[in-house]
Amino acid sequence: MTDDIEADFTAAVRRAGLTLDEDRVAAMRDAYRELQKLLAVLDAPLVYAEEPAFALDLTRIEGTR
């Protein structure tokens, strides 16, 4: 594990306000690393027109008309 991942993980836990059991820190750090590895597939460049799924559709909002 690189120092970057270690530091990122520690920061992410702190920023989320979570407290980990001491004996589970290593397992959670490994899971964090696996998660980031998986999420890297989302880094592939996308054109502007590729908007998010479930973008707001005002015709579906009830109670304002």
Partner 1 sequence: MNPALPLPTIAESSRAIMRGELSPVDLAGAALARAEALAPRLDAFIRLTPERAIASARAADREIAAGRRRGPLHGIPYGLKDIYDVAGLPTTAHSKLLVDNIAENDAATTARLEQAGMVLIGKLATHEFATGGPAWDLPWPPAHNPWHTDHFTGGSSSGSGAAVAAGILPMAMGSDTRGSIRAPAAYCGTVGLKPTYGLVSRRGIVPLSFSFDHAGPLTWTVEDCALVMQALAGHDPLDPASANVPIPDYTAALKAGVAGLRIGYAKPFNAEVAVNVEQAGALDAAAALFARLGAEIVEVTLPPIDRFNACAHAISGTESFALHQKDLRTRPGAYARVTRERLMLGAFVSGAQYVQAQRVRRILTTQVDALFKTCDALMIAPVPGPAPRLDAVETGPWRRQQPLTAIFNVTGHPAICVPGGFAANGLPLSVQLAGRFFDEARLLRIAHAYEQEAAWYRKRPTLATLG
Residues 30-59 that bind partner 1 (CB under 8 A): 30-32, 34-36, 38-39, 41-43, 46, 50-54
The three-state DSSP-derived secondary structure of the chain is CCHHHHHHHHHHHHHHCCCCCHHHHHHHHHHHHHHHHHHHHHHCCCCCCCCCCCCCCHHHCCCCC
User: Among residues 19, 57, 64, 65, which is the contact residue for partner 1, using CB under 8 A?
Assistant: 19
Residues making contact with partner 1 (CB under 8 A): 9, 12-13, 15-21, 24, 27-28, 30-32, 34-36, 38-39, 41-43, 46, 50-54, 60, 62
